[in-house]
Amino acid sequence: MEYNRYLCTNMTSLNKKTISYRGKEYSAAFIPNVFTSDNQMILIGSHSLNIALYNDDKGYVDEEAREIDEQVYAFIDDNFFSLGLEKFIEKAKALLD
């Protein structure tokens, strides 16, 4: 647990990214892997990206969707991407633990 606090305090802001898929931009962010202590960053994607990539009835929309999905650790609510780093991590942990 101490390791995770160390990582969080050394990052000062959320490392926001966008993922382009089919001409649209979707929110994503790299955060410290707070679920293990392997010193890795994980990519968190927005819920709207997940919906664009995957159809519950038919599966992945296309091969590019599958490739993108395999790079994303988890998907969380789009509104969380406006939060600061600590709150974002707190929300991610609460949803994924």
Q: What pLDDT, on the 0 to 100 scale, is given for residue 8?
A: 40
Q: What confidence tens digit (pLDDT) does each residue in 42-58 have?
A: 999 999 999 999 999 99
Is the pLDDT score of 32 beyond 90? no
Q: Are 48 and 55 in contact (CB under 8 A)?
A: no
Q: How far is CA 82 from CA 38, 44, 71, in A?
A: 27, 13, 22
Q: What pLDDT, on the 0 to 100 scale, is given for residue 11?
A: 54
Q: Considering the entire predicted model, what is its pTM?
A: 0.82
Q: What confidence tens digit (pLDDT) does each residue in 9-29 have?
A: 445 578 899 999 999 999 999
